[in-house]
Structures are given as structure tokens and as C-alpha cells.
Structure 1
Amino acid sequence: MQNSQQLQNRIPNSHPTLSDRSEQLELSESMFYYFAYGSCMCPVDLRRSLGEPTHLYVVGVARLNGYRLGFYYHSPHRDCGCLDIVQDANSYVEGVLYCLPSRLSDRLDLREDVSGGGYQHELVTVKVGKNIYSNVRTYSVVNKLTRELAPNDWYSSVVLRGASTCGLTERYFWQLFYHIYQLQLLQVKGNGNRVQERTG
């Protein structure tokens, strides 16, 4: 079983996607595992926040058992619903496992609005193929909405692009797609009903 503590002061050379990168980094650089399930699955969008290429740090597609996705966070920046994970023994979440340098930790926290009470660290165990990784950092919403809030088109496109380009399973991708579609459809219907009530 892999443990994030084992990453201290070395680069894990067992992952082909990291082998080329390891030659460019000092072997003494501290690293941590990070499981992304939302917009951070897209390395291009994650690079925008972290300030350097992140596809080089991808370990692979990961599966988190015992959780499900939900849009239980209202992003004040995007003014829409954003993804969260909630415990559910009968479900699972797919995402991307990164192995990031610890020097990027504060930038990741900033993106997730940890200091502002948006998201918080949560340590989980994920699987990549047959390999198990424990003490993996992910983020969960601190003050969850009681009902899911639909994401906007921009956020949805980033999430789905990350899910597609990073190779999440086809079944999971389409489940995510239809979940987003249904939320957006309900929002449109809700807005239409409110307009009718005001004009009726």
C-alpha cells in the first residue's frame, strides 16, 4: 500500500508518467498525492492556478470508493454550483491522481478557498489500476448546500474536458454528463416558472 509519507524527500519512480519529470526535479523535493474529481482533473485549468505544467504530475485515473459526487457548493467566484464529494457506501467517484511538489500546496489551497472556508482537506484512499494509495489529499466542501446547484456552462466544460482527456471510464463520463444536464434542465425550468409567476 502506497502512503503519502513515503513520498517525502524522493520522487516515486514507479510511475512512467513521472519518470521524465523526475530527471528535472531534485530527488530531495517533497511530494504529495492529490485526488482531483472536478475542474482540477483538467491539467490545463490546473496549470492556470499552479503556474506550471501539471500533466507531468499525473499518476493516472483513480477511483474513490464510498463517496459520490454532488454539486453542493455555491462558488461566489463563478456564481454557480461546483462539485463536492459526500460519503455514500454504495457509490464511487472517479478522478485523476496527481503527485505534486509540496511547494504547490499553498497554491492549491488558494484555488480551493481553504482560508475562506470554501473547501477543506480530506484524506482518502484511492485505487489506480491494482495499486492502492492511502493518505491522499482531496478537498470537500465545508458548508454544503442542502440541494444541488447547477453548474454553469464554463465550469461544466472544464470538468467534462478533464474527464475526457484524462481517460475516465466511458460509463462514468456519461453519468457525469447526464447528471450535469439534468441539473441545468431543472434550473432552466425553475427560472421559467418564476418568470411565469411574476408575469401571470
Structure 2
Amino acid sequence: MCPEPHLNWYYYFAYGSCMCPVDLKRTLGEITSAYVLGPAMLKGYRLGFYRRSQRRNCGVLDVVKDPHSIVEGVLYHLPWRLSDRLDEREEVPNGGYRHETVEVYCNNRRYSNVRTYVVVDKLPEELAPNDWYFNVVLRGAVTCGLSEQYCWNLFHHMNQLQQRQREQDRLRSGTIFRV
């Protein structure tokens, strides 16, 4: 087991757009790639798009407890001074996400007392990501070295959600005609 983080630092498990250090830099205002410890696994959870982001106008990722699943993501070791900015990004003050303390595995080590974020008010069904969010999540997953199989599964899941959304939009707009 890894020692507890120093008081001025904390561990953060990212599984969505924050996996991309370039996108995280945009929010935190400094280069974050130096804080990446590596690809990590969160056991007992699965991914889902159970939140509508007003800012991004699409479905965004969440983790949901599921004893038979694993979520891959990125483990960061961040300076505490960035905590408030990360909370703002995740809309903690507005009830978007909340902190959840988890245990993850990274580089064959177990890290406990790791912060991640979970959606407060989950949608009843998944909502598709837009193209921008789709691309930034996939870029982060590939850049930070998540397993090839996981990246493909993530791609296919997001693609299926988008296809379902397009089909629903076509049905609503009446562009599908029955013969």
C-alpha cells in the first residue's frame, strides 16, 4: 500500500475529460502532465453518461458502483492549491458532482484515500456525449496509456450512444418515413 498523500498534495483519479492533461491544464492554469502517476484501475465501478453538462451541452461521464466492473483512468498526484479549481470544474459548489474517496491500482501499487468525482443527481438513462467531449475523453485515454481494449470499448460505447441519439433526433424531427 502506498503511504497517505502529504498534507499539501492529494491523489486524484480521473476517468473523463480530466484524463487529458492538456484539457486539465486549461482549467487549472498550469501544466499537469508532471502530476500524472500513470494509468490506474478503479475496481467495483463502471462508466456511464448519467449527467447532462450545461456547459458542454451533452452527456458527461460518471462512475457508478458495480461489483463486477472496472473503470480505467489516470491517477494524478496534485498540489492541494489546485483543489478548489478542480472542484469548480466538476461543479461541486453547484451540486453537479461530489467527492468520493476510492482505492485505485496504479503501477502495481494500491493507492487509498484517492479523490474522484461522482454525479449527484444521475439521469435515469445515459445521454450521448457531443463530438468535442467524445474526442477529449478518447485523447486522454490514449495519451495516458489506458489499455487498448479499454480504449476501444470506450470508443464503441460513446459511438453507440451518439448513434442512438441521432436516431432519436431523426424520429423526433420526422425525417424517417415508413413505407
Query: When the two structures are superposed, what TM-score results if normalisation uses the length of structure 1?
Result: 0.86
The alpha-carbon deviation at position 198 of structure 1 amounts to 10
Tell me the SS of whatever aligns to 2:163. Answer: helix
Matches within 5 A, 1:22-171: 30-171=8-149
After TM superposition, the runs of 4+ consecutive aligned structure 1 residues lying more than 4 A away are 197-200
Match of 1:71, as an amino acid?
F
| Distance in 2 between residues matched to 1:48 and 1:117, nearest whole Å | 22
Could you say which structure has the higher helix fraction?
Answer: 1
Query: When the two structures are superposed, what TM-score results if normalisation uses the length of structure 2?
Result: 0.96
Structure number with the bigger relative contact order (C-alpha 8 A, sep ≥ 6) is 2
Structure 2 gap ranges (5+): none
| Distance in 2 between residues matched to 1:133 and 1:65, nearest whole Å | 12
- Equivalent residue for 1:7, pick from 1, 5, 8: 5
* Number of aligned residues: 178
| Distance in 1 between residues matched to 2:167 and 2:25, nearest whole Å | 36
Q: Percent of counterpart pairs with the same letter?
A: 60
| Distance in 2 between residues matched to 1:155 and 1:61, nearest whole Å | 20
Q: Based on CA coordinates, which of the two structures has the bigger radius of gyration? A: 1
After superposition, the CA RMSD in angstroms is 1.5
| Distance in 2 between residues matched to 1:135 and 1:7, nearest whole Å | 8
8 A contact 2:103–2:112 mirrored in 1:
yes
Tell me the SS of whatever aligns to 2:171. Answer: helix
Match of 1:196, as an amino acid?
G
| Distance in 1 between residues matched to 2:2 and 2:144, nearest whole Å | 22
Q: Are 2:173 and 1:195 aligned?
A: yes
Match of 1:7, as an amino acid?
P
| Distance in 1 between residues matched to 2:175 and 2:23, nearest whole Å | 40
Tell me the SS of whatever aligns to 2:55. Answer: coil
